[in-house]
Amino acid sequence: MINDITPDFPNGEAVLIDKPVRRTSFDMVHRVRKAVNVKKVGHAGTLDPLATGLLIICTGRFTKKISEFSNLNKVYTGIISLGKTTPSYDLETDFDSVNEIAGIDEKAVYKTAEGFIGTSFQLPPMYSAVKKNGRALYKYARKGVEVERKEREIEVFRFDIKKIDLPDIHFEIEVTPGTYIRVIAHDFGQKLGCGAYLKSLRRTAIGPYSVDDAFAIEEFENFVTNLADNEHI
């Protein structure tokens, strides 16, 4: 990714950023743009504000590569919590139902996860940035309006249950681009008959690129500042 010896941000670099919770993907783009002082900056795949993890941010001519990065498969870890639902399928909105989970055992959890493996069609959630008539769906949702959406074909390559501590299910999942893990969490609860929401989410990989190699945004800003200072020595 980024050439950490002599990076050329105006000409083009791809920067790996570990997005913190409660910050938008655009927040990260803005801070990278300000740090490198390059107007043309964009990211390859949105993360929800409550999600953390890997963002690939391209500068300069590398913005032409955004679609290449966006089309890579994604790996996430997270927690699905059973027995409650929210309109947004995560903690962005308040709970709107509470259900009993006493009859659910580990065998049912594993079997349900196995049922997601393979190709299927997924309906984008109303609380999303997908646009309808030029307007983001979440803007309709916040006004209590539900609009018709088109299903998208997705594929789940693996869905590993790492730990079961009911109501929480810790998982790792690998999916095609454009897959909403919030929807998988919601559908998981529907299949078990108790409801569920996505309690936490972290993107750990995009294709061959790992969050282990990413900068925290503050680290990146310090890195660029040190580069500038060294150039003036």
Q: Which of 27, 2, 12 is nearest to 218 (CA)?
A: 27
The answer to whether residue 48 is catalytic is yes
Nearest CA-CA partner of 17 in 206, 173, 177: 206
Which of 18, 48, 90, 187 is labelled catalytic?
Answer: 48
State the CB neighbour count (10 A cutoff) for residue 182: 25
CA atoms within 13 A on the CB side of 16: 19
Residues known to be catalytic: 48
